[in-house]
Chain A
Amino acid sequence: MKPTKFAKLLLLGLVLNLAAVGCHKHTQGVTDIPNGIAGSGTNDLGTTPGLTSNNGISDSPFGGTPITDPEKYKNYSRNPDIFKSDTVHFAFDSSVVKDEEKPKASTVADYLKSNSEDAVEVEGHCDERGTEEYNRSLGERRALALREELIRLGIDAGKVVTISYGKDRPEDPGHDESAWKQNRRGVFVLLTPPTKTQ
């Protein structure tokens, strides 16, 4: 039975009249979140050092370059081992390539310059401390940051593709900072054309 408009008005009156304390307040207070920082400009979410103020992304002239269609490298051989020691690690919630990590990108760039038929796929990964789609986008953002670095080092943009795994493929399944540190990473996977001999 649908209520009539009159009944609704009466309901309003009844509610006003019998209302518990809360109804007269304009708004309910926002519940305090432990460790939360309301209105803060920084992501202080616990154990990591603060984010740098200039994340370098917006200044990069190497960002925003279109990425090659996945069909192009579909049949290339994938070698995830050759650059294993060049896996780049990131700070929490960050896609900034730290200065101390940049030599790894140089190593990859040098190899590609010497092997001009090859391409590289950059994988972006996250630790578990993020929601799934946020992490998928952040992982991609990390891969893109490394791609920009490679382009800056002179690699043809068409030779670098990206893929995000979000938090789907942790390096370390643990639930502490030592594991998370391992998982926030960019991985370089060499792509070699099918005709090339190893």
Chain B
Amino acid sequence: MKHNLSALRIFVSLACLAAYPLLIAQEELNVERGYTPGQVKPIPVSLSGFSGEVEQVLKFDLYVVGFAFTEPDAAHYQISGSNNGNVQGRVTDPHNKATPTLLSKGYSGATLRRQAHAFADDIVFAITGKKGIAQTKIACKVLSSSASEGNGEIYVADFDGHNPQAVTRDGTIVAAPCWVPGHLALYYTSYKLHHPDIFYHNLSTGARRIFARYGGSNMSPAPSPDGNEVAMILSKDGWTDLYVGSAGGGSPLRLTKTPQDESSPCWSPDGRWICYASKERERRSLCKIPASGGTPERIPTGGMPNPTEPDWSPDGKWIAFTSQAGGFSICVVPVGGGPATQLVEGEDPSWAPNSRTLIYARRQGGRYVLSLLDVPTKQIKDVSRISGSSNSQPSWAR
């Protein structure tokens, strides 16, 4: 084994040296091979010429997708520019003498902040070939104060917590907002009618309607990737079970029939599976079941006990979840099998469209704050407080 590896190494070294200038893709996360969560080194870049809010935004946006900041001579890429009036900038690769400039662009209109976010996305694309997340949105639950009888509102905001907008103004208990993929619409649970009902809320028009108001509690809505169906936890038949209903209405299909408590369904990106938290005897586990019905299979979370609140990455490869053992921690496990990795203290993760950044909630005193985690590098940033005293149950628009 060792001999073969040595020979391979020599061959590969020669090949690499010969083609070094073509290694612009060096920074691409080698998705085909997979990676070890938390063990990937960030891409070192330098940032110069920017100031104030623009500099802050660029640093934040790049950090949470796996970049780190160094002096120019240690950087793999140099990002320079200015923000006098408008943002303009360029990205250069100092090791590429032939074609050093990856990006050179100016921005105008809107606000400096939005220009900076657009630039950040362009930087990410120029360097990695992947789409950025700097212009995406999140939704969450906001508790007004600690003594509010559990009442709160649903909010949406930029992924970094800025530009918050209240979606509801009901002064009641709300829970578990979840975006309709590709649409400006949410499902959530609200107790507005003195009962936990699932609402559909169109954020473009502001119109909303009751989606599920069955007897018992209607909880944890999760629209399918094509938006045509909604998975949810209902107790209308006397047990807390997983159901799937058509977005247009009608009798939902019952997928589980167990006296145990199922919770937190989420979909595979191809729409074929629903993953959810389950309990078998006394043991909590994650399961997946065909979305059209069938036999559930357990998803092993090897060593990470009491998994709940799963979320399936948009690229189909990972499930992020909360593990509870004393405290709570954010973990990821490869869908195809393999060890789960514990990453940070926190709960209730939601994947960004880039399948590497997670938003999650962590406890701070008696309330929750939202944070972002770049899974490959384990870099973390807190999201700005959106409103109220506690922000939890985040959902990333995908």
Contact = CB atoms under 8 A, between A and B. Distances in A.
- Asked if chains A and B come from one complex, the reply is yes
Interface of A: 1-4, 6-8, 10-17, 22, 27-31, 33-43, 45-46, 51, 53, 55, 57-58, 60, 63-70, 74, 95, 129-134, 136-141, 143-144, 147-148, 157, 161-166, 168-169, 173, 175
Contacts of A45: 306, 324-326
Contact of A137 (B15, B219, B238, B325): B219
A25 B194 CA distance: 55
B217 interface: yes
Contact of B341 (A31, A140, A144): A31
A30 B39 CA distance: 12
Contacts of B12: 13-14, 16-17
The 5 closest A-B pairs by CB, nearest first: A3-B25, A168-B150, A67-B215, A13-B12, A36-B325
A10 B325 contact: no
A70 B215 contact: yes
Nearest to B237: A66
A86 B124 CA distance: 60
Given A1-B24, A132-B392, A33 B308 contact: no
Given A17-B16, A137-B220, A166-B175, A69 B238 contact: no
B215 to A, nearest CB: 3
Contact of B309 (A43, A134, A162): A134
Contacts of B325: 33-37, 45
Interface of B: 8-9, 11-13, 15-16, 19, 22-26, 28, 30, 32-33, 36-37, 39, 102, 126, 129, 141, 146, 149-150, 173, 175-176, 189, 193-197, 213-217, 219-220, 233, 235-240, 257-264, 277, 281-284, 302-306, 308-309, 322-326, 328-329, 338-342, 347-348, 366, 392-393
A63 B261 contact: no
Contact of A14 (B26, B32, B259): B26
29 contacts: A2-B129, A4-B25, A7-B22, A7-B23, A8-B32, A11-B23, A11-B25, A12-B30, A13-B13, A28-B36, A28-B37, A30-B303, A33-B304, A43-B306, A69-B213, A69-B214, A131-B309, A131-B347, A132-B176, A132-B348, A132-B393, A134-B309, A136-B176, A137-B220, A147-B238, A161-B215, A164-B235, A173-B366, A175-B366
Contacts of A137: 219-220, 233, 240, 261-264
A34 to B, nearest CB: 6
Contact of B281 (A33, A41, A139): A41
Given A64-B237, A164-B235, 8 more contacts: A14-B26, A33-B304, A43-B284, A66-B236, A70-B214, A131-B328, A133-B263, A168-B150
Contacts of B324: 45, 129-131
A66 B238 contact: yes
Given A13-B15, A27-B339, A67 B216 contact: yes
Contacts of B129: 1-3
Nearest to A24: B5
Given A14-B26, A140-B216, A30 B235 contact: no
B16 A10 contact: yes
B9 A16 contact: yes
Contact of A164 (B9, B26, B219): B219
A95 B340 CA distance: 29
Interface centre among B217, B236, B260, B277 (most CB of A within 10 A): B217
